[in-house]
Amino acid sequence: MSLTCYGDGEQVCRFFPPVCPACRTWGLFWMGLLCSVLVTGLLPSAECAEGRGRIRGVIQREGQGFAEQRIMLIRFGPNQEVQRTPGQTDAEGRFLFDNLETGSAFTYFVGIRYQEQLRRSDPIRLQSNEPVEVVLEVGEPTTQESVSIAEQPKLHIANHIMVIVGRDTHLEVREIVRVVNPGSIPYMDRGASFRLPLPLSYYNLGQVQGLAAEHVRVDASGLSYATPLAPGEHQVIYTYNLPWYDDLATILVERTMDTSVLDVLVDDERFVTTSDLQFGGRVSIEPHVFAHFRGMNLELHSRSWLQLMPRQTSVSVLLGAYGLIIGITLLGVVLPLHNVWHERVQQGQRDSGALKPKQIQDVKGAGRDLLRGMARLDDAHNDGMIDEATYQQRRQVYKDQLFELVEQLQRSQAGQEARDERRGEM
């Protein structure tokens, strides 16, 4: 049962000649089927292999592998999409991330949290399926490096502009900050080159212009730039919204760098604005008219405040706002006067051994005044007019004085009871 060829390729079947054409047809069919299976089986694997890369390396501490440590692979994709993949180093501190997407649209970082700080590798871009080697050192900086950081000239802000426009349900704020690195080398300090604080309750922060987007970090208190800042001047522009409910709004402007000039422009058609900054007149920028406030040579860690009052708000509320500011200003005067009076009360107590009825009423009145002062202090703190350290310090003064008043009343009551007992014995 075989096929034999003769002459010009004529095929003759020695046995069962009628079957010969069918054999040829089925042979071609099975050969085609086998080829298609092989092709379709191999193509998917080749397609999966294409566009996939690997990142491998070692985490070191003081030159030695950092074993059994949790790490993270951070990927920035198109449209600022962020993906995090957890991992762990082996007994020698090595790691491997595979099956990664390649191409210029994706940027990777290897990160590890060490001593409450996030340490990250340089940005990684995978252009092929060849593995990329990463060595990330998390040890303490050497003495020479620490001295180098300390000797770097500090960054400062040459000019900071804030523009505040009122809307029906919120405030729109645009900030333009010119950050200057006066040194000759890129500036970096504790994981970031600089930080710009934002007001509490801000939302809808737009794209930050003037900085590389992959290095901008945003949290509830502001934004930071997590890469060395090159020498020279850098202009940073960003916008955000603040909630507003058609009533008094207080905005605190904090500083993390020395600032040469701060200019604040507030929508003058909607608001009557007060500030600790100097009023510089009104500025017309179509289609708005702004009240202009300016501060000069403002120090690191200092703060400025603005109060925005809608123009249709009643005069009584406006007077109340001014009263709050004046009350805070006079607080430092009232407390020393109260202390002088308090010393006199104590002297009267020492002379008589017990407080007289008039003195008791005075002590109770002083206690009520202290409680009202604490309430005003709490309101000022809640409105953002007093920083946390000052608030806690002044509140502790109030508490100490209240405690002394209570002790006075208790001693007076005990002295009165002792005198009553002696009279009973007589």
Q: How far is CA 301 from CA 117, 157, 395, 418, in A?
A: 22, 13, 22, 56
Helical axes 357-382 vs 388-425, angle rounded to 10° = 160
So what's the pLDDT on residue 320? Answer: 53
CA 399 to chain centre: 34
Percentage, residues of the chain above pLDDT 90: 28
Task: Quickly count: other Cβ atoms within 10 Å of residue 370's Cβ.
Answer: 18
Contact 107, 76 (CB under 8 A): yes
Q: Coil, helix or strand for 89?
A: coil
Cβ burial, residue 203 (10 Å; 0-12/13-18/19+):
exposed
Q: What is the pLDDT of residues 58-85, one digit of tens each?
A: 999 888 889 999 999 988 887 657 788 8
Task: Say if 52-139 and 152-313 have the same CATH topology.
Answer: yes
> Domain limits of the chain?
3-49, 52-139, 152-313, 317-425
The pTM of this model reads 0.45
Q: Which CATH code fits 52-139?
A: 2.60.40.10
Residue-wise pLDDT tens digits, 311-362: 864 444 445 545 555 554 455 544 454 554 555 545 544 444 566 777 777 7
Superfamily of domain 152-313: tricorn interacting facor f3 domain (2.60.40.1730)
Q: Write the CA distances from 300 to 21, 269, 276, 329, integer angstroms.
A: 95, 32, 17, 23
